[in-house]
Amino acid sequence: MKVTLTVNGEPRTDEVEPRLLLAHYLREVCGLRATNIGCDTTSCGACTVIVDGLSVKSCTVLAAQADDCQVTTLEGLAGPDGELHPVQSAFRAEHGLQCGFCTPGMVMAAIGLLADNPDPSDREVREGLEGNLCRCTGYHNIVRAVRAAAGAGPAAGRVPQAQGEDA
């Protein structure tokens, strides 16, 4: 079957198997490797991306279900001159990562959280990210990173392509 989507601001049309998961579409068809696959069961959140402005676990969505949608992966967050998205900058500044495997999904989930709640408390950050697992950190730096990103203002909850901005 044919799917047409916008991935990181670029329109695409591809022929896919009807049962192909969005996570596998992004990795195998689009060649975008930041969308990690850790479980295929919605348990870890490493595959979280933004679809039409909402953070979703891409291992729970068929590529066909994303037809006519805007999908943003970690690769689509940087600005035109390579400047990091406010959430990426905060994760870097607050050491909100260790091995890095969960980081792309954690960043995308944090953007979704900040879009819904631009000034979350520590508890709200922990609750908002509870579907994303990190096996390396104690989450303290991740929570600090999300709170620091919230201090950047509304831009922290925005995805450039989903908002029609230049990436």
Domain boundaries defined on the chain: 2-74, 86-157
Instruction: In whole angstroms, give the CA distance from residue 127 to residue 20.
Output: 30
* pLDDT score, position 163: 42
Provide block-wise average pLDDT over 10 residues at a time, the chain (167 residues).
Answer: 97 98 98 93 95 96 98 95 96 94 97 97 97 90 97 91 44
2-74 folds as: Ubiquitin-like (UB roll) (3.10.20)
Cβ atoms of residues 20 and 87 within 8 Å = no
Q: Does domain 86-157 have CATH number 1.10.150.120?
A: yes
